[in-house]
């Protein structure tokens, strides 16, 4: 039976399903997403999977699905192809904890939370999985092991449960130094990984061909003997497929600009075919991101999805040339953002999963014309066709779906497997297409109406606002900071409030003096996404698929645009200005170029249109070899400290104030104040209350400095958080807050319109008179309805902190950085005070001090309010969950880094 959630102010969800449920089209659920207020209305039958499914394989009346979210367990699940009834799973439980069995040990126990196993389950301890799944001609299922460096063969006896049959080991391979990313891009503290990420089985089932993401390599495994050969194929290989009747292998290169064609029998590279622009090492443009592949039957051609360019390219494996190109944009002239990342060819049609648009586009290959859009769940990542059935997997399912065991916004959203009867395509195509467009606000009428509204809002802005200042802070839900703000009414839940008027007097005053957005959402789940949404209006396909690896400690280091140390003790490991240095000066640091979305970031947009700006602390785009262009570098506040818990935000505010004293106010200021992230209960560092209070004071100091300038009268300040993953919220785990301040902002406004981070970005772009960068800021709202008729340009007040600067109990490390902190006494090395929290509850390493989301939330509550208040808050969440008949996890954010 389908469970229904009652309506509540922000997120209306119908039809959250258990693994034993599927739903017919007439009963299909729908959802309103926090991100941009988009709708989901998936067609056909659907069934839930664990978080983040990435691949599908069909065999013998069964459909297998691989899920690989940011959790300790990944899964291969099997369903009945006709009914989508679950038929068991194999779980891969990856952990470096000594309590777990040695790698490869199998045990028929526990779900991914340690419960008792069902008969249809097998758990493999010390194993991980990553996005590759294929079926052999005998029905064997092959899954790629990612961080485990292996290929798993799974099978069953008759209709019995899936079981591990065999493991094939793979090894990292060196690649040319002139091939991106120019050095090994994994965690240098671990063994270097081949990192298998896709697999295809040869024509006769004798060989498996497996790509190695971190080795730029393709492996050929003899499935009988296990003998393996390797071939360098290009940068970050994503997918591999057979083509030209099995005579060729084609590999897409995620970090390159096209595909590599291989003679299968000769095991030799025939050549490479660019599907996107050819980019040299010093190119500053983003990559094409060639991802999914689909061979065209009875043809030498293979289709390639250039995910970052919203383009589908047909390549001839015989002539090694591009022979056809299809624009995959949802409407003419649309900016990038569809992110096509899965393909299938059947019945003369090309089926394209558009991860960014939550639909499958269907193209007629005879004419290259789009004949339908089929609505899916959130972020489709896999598509395949068998007979007259189309199967789709969507990574984020229906949004806030049921999963009472997880409390993290990054992985509690269940995935969805969807089955569509293609026999209905001729009659349903018009309705499905209209629904898919309308769900995203892409219909012609919706775009016309929004353009009209935005034109009016833009006209007012251009007449009154000449400068916009964007302040970004870290990781707070609305209720976490505004739960005790009485003026928010039912939008606030006092029982979930952690930091109130005592810690945040200036934020509360800012809400009184300006506009508070109470129905406001983060577009992503974690920091990696949040900083791209606030600077680019989307997050790239590469980032979406790989951040779970980084956040679950599965051997890969990447982030939204920063560079990070790949090895402990690397040069400048504690340099707070490292994000602005070139990689050649940093040594073994990650190269973030592959993470960039198509049109890069706000700063590139401003630079290209000659708009004045200054960036305080946010990352800046690099070229392929890791350099920041001199033109962009000229707009970076080079002495502004980025992420470093040993530097207080009031010190950052002084840097801003000093800069403003010596420079004219630019059109756009971007300021990152990260210390409300806190450092939990880490000994020696400021307490969470102290960090939050200091961040609050610093925010007011920045605005006060602005208010003393001649240009203040025509300045708008916008403030928000990068994500909402460290606290609880009674409406949705994605809900955070935004505040608008300035002489023209009407005091005491409570904005209840459903808005998100892209609406702030669109407003900044409008003030700067620059074009949008993605489909999402292009179709976002320009802020309106918050303005006063005459400005009040009085100097902005700074309320003194009500929280004394206190440090967490415990012994300070003997590290030199800690000695630099004021009022810190460094005792002898090795001493541990009884009041110090256990090591498992501390942040590490020193310079990063990142912590898992639920642990961050727990530490901040314990440090700020104590065990009793923390227990009371959790009890309130459980009661609210029961009363609203929805999972507690939809109310609580937080479990992993950032």
Chain segment 485-527, per-residue pLDDT in tens? 999 999 999 999 999 999 999 999 999 999 999 999 999 988 8
Q: What is the number of alpha carbons within 13 Å of residue 112 lying toward its C-beta?
A: 28
DSSP run (H or E) holding 818: helix 816-819
pLDDT averaged over every residue in the chain: 87
Residue 101's pLDDT band (boundaries 50, 70, 90)?
Answer: very low
Give the pLDDT score at 159.
Answer: 75
Environment class of residue 709 by beta-carbon count within 10 Å: exposed (0-12), middle (13-18) or buried (19+)?
middle
Cα–Cα dist 750/486, whole Å: 12
What does pTM read for this prediction?
A: 0.91
Residues 818, 821, 824, 825, Cα dihedral to 10°: 50
Residue 557's pLDDT band (boundaries 50, 70, 90)?
Answer: confident
Give the pLDDT score at 571.
Answer: 59
pLDDT tens digits, residue range 314-366?
999 999 999 999 999 999 999 999 999 999 999 999 999 999 999 999 999 99
Cα R_g (the chain), whole angstroms = 26
What are 293's two structure tokens? 């592949």
Residue 577's pLDDT band (boundaries 50, 70, 90)?
Answer: confident
Residue whose pair of structure tokens reads 């990152």 in the numeric block? 672
Cα–Cα dist 234/179, whole Å: 7
- Whether the CB-CB separation of 722 and 473 falls below 8 Å is answered with yes
Q: Annotate 25-81 with DSSP letters as a single string.
A: GGG---EE-TTTT-EE---SEEEEESS-EEEEEEETTEEEEEE--SSSEEEEEEEET
CA triplet 350, 445, 305: central angle to 5 degrees?
Answer: 20
- β-strand 31-32 against 39-40: which pairing, if any? antiparallel
Pick the closest to residue 675 from 706, 722, 643, 723 (CA basis): 643
- Whether the CB-CB separation of 521 and 35 falls below 8 Å is answered with yes
Give the pLDDT score at 478.
Answer: 94
Q: What is 464-890's CATH superfamily? A: Alkaline Phosphatase, subunit A (3.40.720.10)
- Decide: helix, strand or coil at residue 393: strand
pLDDT tens digits, residue range 770-827?
999 999 999 999 999 999 999 999 999 999 999 999 888 877 766 555 555 554 444 4
Pick the closest to residue 93 from 50, 63, 126 (CA basis): 126
Largest interatomic CA distance in the chain: 81
Give the pLDDT score at 17.
Answer: 36
DSSP run (H or E) holding 721: strand 715-721
Cα–Cα dist 807/688, whole Å: 9
What are 839's two structure tokens? 């090591």
Residue 429 CA, distance from chain mean position: 31
Cα–Cα dist 712/661, whole Å: 13
pLDDT tens digits, residue range 140-169?
999 999 999 999 999 998 778 899 999 999
- Whether the CB-CB separation of 79 and 47 falls below 8 Å is answered with yes
Domain residue extents for the chain? 464-890
Give the pLDDT score at 813.
Answer: 65
Cα–Cα dist 614/139, whole Å: 58
Is the bond preceding residue 118 a cis peptide, omega within 30 degrees?
no
Q: How many CB atoms lie within 10 A of CB 831?
A: 11
Q: Residue 253: phi, psi to the nearest 5?
A: -110, 105
Checking if the pLDDT of 103 tops 70, the result is no
Q: What is the number of alpha carbons within 13 Å of residue 267 lying toward its C-beta?
A: 13
Cα–Cα dist 70/412, whole Å: 10
The mean per-residue pLDDT over the stretch 823-844 comes to 42
Residue whose pair of structure tokens reads 């005592």 in the numeric block? 502
Checking if the pLDDT of 834 tops 80, the result is no
Residues 482, 487, 488, 492, Cα dihedral to 10°: 50
Residues 521, 526, 531, 533, Cα dihedral to 10°: -50
b/e per residue, 241-278, with b = 16+ CB within 10 A? bbbbeebbbbbbbbbbbbbbbbebeeeebeebbbbbee
Residue whose pair of structure tokens reads 């509690």 in the numeric block? 412
What are 368's two structure tokens? 């290259």
- Decide: helix, strand or coil at residue 14: strand
User: How far lies 769's CA from each of 56, 375, 578, 623, in Å?
Assistant: 44, 34, 31, 26
DSSP run (H or E) holding 513: helix 505-513
Cα–Cα dist 141/259, whole Å: 26
User: How far lies 857's CA from each of 136, 193, 261, 547, 892, in Å?
Assistant: 45, 33, 49, 20, 9
- Whether the CB-CB separation of 29 and 19 falls below 8 Å is answered with no
Residue whose pair of structure tokens reads 């073994």 in the numeric block? 588
The more confident residue out of 101 and 91 is 91
**Which phi-psi region, left, alpha or beta, contains residue 576 (left: φ > 0; alpha: ψ -120 to 50)?**
alpha
Environment class of residue 455 by beta-carbon count within 10 Å: exposed (0-12), middle (13-18) or buried (19+)?
exposed
Q: What's the DSSP call for residue 560? A: S
Give the pLDDT score at 37.
Answer: 83
Q: How many CB atoms lie within 10 A of CB 759?
A: 24
Q: How many CB atoms lie within 10 A of CB 554?
A: 25
What are 427's two structure tokens? 């009659």
Residue 562's pLDDT band (boundaries 50, 70, 90)?
Answer: confident
Cα–Cα dist 749/342, whole Å: 44
Q: What's the DSSP call for residue 537? A: S
CA triplet 51, 52, 54: central angle to 5 degrees?
Answer: 145
Q: Annotate 290-355 with DSSP letters as a single string.
A: EEEEEEPTTSSEEEEEEGGGTEEEEEETTTTEEEEEEE--SSTT--S---EEEEEEETTEEEEEET
pLDDT tens digits, residue range 723-735?
988 888 888 888 9
Can you say whether the dihedral through the CA atoms of 655, 658, 660, 664 is positive or negative?
negative
Environment class of residue 718 by beta-carbon count within 10 Å: exposed (0-12), middle (13-18) or buried (19+)?
buried
The mean per-residue pLDDT over the stretch 169-197 comes to 94
Pick the closest to residue 91 from 55, 52, 62, 50 (CA basis): 50
What are 355's two structure tokens? 């991860």
Cα–Cα dist 253/305, whole Å: 11
Say how many residues make up the chain.
898
- Whether the CB-CB separation of 69 and 91 falls below 8 Å is answered with no
- β-strand 415-421 against 45-49: which pairing, if any? antiparallel
pLDDT tens digits, residue range 585-630?
887 889 999 999 999 999 999 999 999 999 999 999 999 999 999 9
Checking if the pLDDT of 844 tops 60, the result is no
């Amino acid at each position: 039976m389908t469970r229904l959630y009652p309506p509540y102010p922000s997120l209306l969800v119908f039809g959250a399903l258990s693994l034993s449920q599927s739903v017919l089209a007439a009963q299909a659920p729908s959802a309103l997403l926090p991100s941009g207020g988009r709708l989901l209305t998936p067609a056909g039958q659907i069934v839930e999977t664990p978080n983040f499914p990435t691949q599908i394989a069909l065999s013998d009346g069964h459909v297998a699905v691989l899920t690989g979210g940011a959790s300790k367990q990944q899964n291969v699940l099997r369903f009945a192809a006709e009914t989508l009834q679950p038929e068991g799973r194999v779980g891969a439980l990856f952990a470096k904890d000594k309590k777990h069995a040695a790698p490869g040990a199998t045990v028929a126990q526990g779900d991914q939370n340690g419960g008792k196993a069902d008969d249809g389950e097998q758990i493999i301890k010390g194993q991980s999985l990553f996005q590759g799944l294929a079926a052999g001609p005998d029905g064997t299922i092959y899954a790629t092991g990612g961080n485990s460096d292996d290929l798993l063969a799974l099978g069953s006896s008759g209709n019995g449960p899936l079981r591990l049959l065999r493991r094939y080991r793979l090894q990292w391979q060196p690649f040319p130094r002139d091939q991106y990313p120019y050095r090994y891009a994994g965690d240098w503290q671990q063994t270097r990984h081949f990192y298998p990420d896709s697999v295809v089985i040869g024509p006769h089932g004798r060989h498996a061909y497996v790509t190695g993401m971190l080795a730029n390599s393709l492996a050929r495994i003899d499935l009988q003997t296990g003998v393996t050969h390797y071939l360098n194929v290009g940068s970050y290989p994503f997918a591999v497929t057979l083509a030209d009747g099995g005579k060729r292998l084609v590999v897409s290169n995620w970090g390159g600009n096209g595909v590599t064609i291989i003679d299968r029998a000769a095991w030799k590279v025939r050549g490479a075919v660019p599907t996107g622009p050819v980019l040299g090492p010093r190119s500053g443009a983003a990559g094409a991101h060639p991802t999914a592949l689909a061979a065209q039957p009875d043809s030498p051609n293979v289709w390639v999805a250039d995910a970052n360019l919203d383009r589908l390219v047909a390549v001839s494996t015989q002539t090694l040339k591009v022979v056809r190109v299809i624009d995959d944009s949802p409407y003419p002239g649309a900016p990038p953002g569809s992110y096509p990342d899965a393909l299938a060819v059947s019945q003369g049609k090309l089926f394209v999963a558009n991860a960014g648009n939550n639909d499958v586009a269907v193209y007629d290959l005879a004419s290259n014309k789009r004949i339908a859009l089929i609505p899916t769940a959130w972020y489709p990542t896999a598509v395949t066709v068998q007979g007259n059935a189309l199967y789709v997997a969507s990574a984020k399912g229906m949004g806030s779906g049921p999963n009472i065991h997880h409390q993290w916004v990054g992985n509690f959203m269940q995935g969805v497997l969807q089955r569509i009867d293609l026999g209905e395509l001729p009659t349903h195509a018009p309705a499905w297409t209209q629904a898919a467009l309308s769900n995203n606000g892409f219909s012609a009428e919706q775009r016309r109406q929004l353009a009209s509204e935005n034109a009016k809002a833009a006209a007012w802005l251009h007449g009154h606002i000449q400068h916009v200042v964007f302040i970004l802070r870290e990781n707070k839900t609305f209720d976490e900071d505004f739960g005790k703000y009485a003026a928010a009414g039912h939008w606030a839940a006092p029982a979930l409030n952690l930091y109130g008027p005592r810690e945040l007097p200036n934020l509360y005053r800012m809400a009184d003096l300006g506009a508070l957005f109470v129905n406001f959402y983060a577009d992503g789940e974690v920091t990696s996404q949040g900083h791209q949404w606030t600077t680019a209006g989307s997050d790239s396909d590469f980032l979406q698929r790989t951040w779970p690896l980084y956040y679950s400690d599965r051997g890969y280091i990447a982030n939204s645009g920063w560079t990070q140390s790949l090895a402990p003790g690397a040069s400048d490991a504690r340099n707070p200005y490292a994000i602005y240095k070139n990689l050649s000066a940093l040594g073994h640091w990650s190269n973030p170029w592959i993470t960039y979305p198509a049109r890069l970031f706000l700063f590139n947009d401003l630079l290209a249109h000659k708009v004045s700006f200054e960036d305080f602390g946010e990352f800046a785009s690099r070229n392929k070899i890791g350099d920041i262009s001199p033109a962009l570098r000229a707009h970076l506040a080079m002495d502004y400290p980025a992420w470093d818990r040993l530097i207080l935000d009031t010190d950052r505010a002084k840097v801003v104030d000093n800069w403003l004293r010596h420079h004219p106010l630019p059109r756009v200021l971007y300021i990152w104040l990260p210390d409300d992230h806190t450092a939990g209960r880490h000994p020696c560092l400021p307490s969470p209350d102290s960090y939050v209070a200091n961040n609050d004071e610093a925010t007011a100091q920045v605005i006060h400095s602005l208010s003393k300038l001649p240009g203040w009268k025509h300045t708008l300040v916008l403030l928000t958080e990068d994500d909402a993953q460290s606290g609880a919220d009674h409406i949705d785990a994605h809900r955070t807050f935004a505040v608008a301040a300035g002489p023209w902002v009407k005091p005491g406004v409570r904005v209840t319109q459903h808005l998100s981070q892209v609406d702030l970005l669109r407003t900044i772009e409008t003030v700067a008179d620059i074009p949008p960068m993605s489909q999402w800021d292009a179709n976002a709202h320009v802020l309106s309805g918050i303005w006063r008729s005459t400005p009040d340009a009085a100097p902005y007040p700074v309320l003194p902190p009500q929280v004394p600067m206190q440090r967490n109990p415990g012994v300070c490390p003997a590290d030199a950085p800690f000695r630099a902190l004021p009022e810190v006494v460094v005792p002898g090395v090795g001493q541990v005070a009884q009041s110090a929290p256990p090591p498992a509850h501390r942040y590490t390493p020193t310079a990063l001090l990142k912590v898992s989301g639920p642990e961050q939330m727990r530490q901040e509550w314990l440090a700020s309010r104590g065990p009793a208040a923390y227990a009371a808050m959790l009890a309130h969440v459980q009661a609210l969950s029961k009363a609203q008949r929805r999972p507690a996890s939809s109310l609580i954010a937080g479990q992993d880094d950032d």
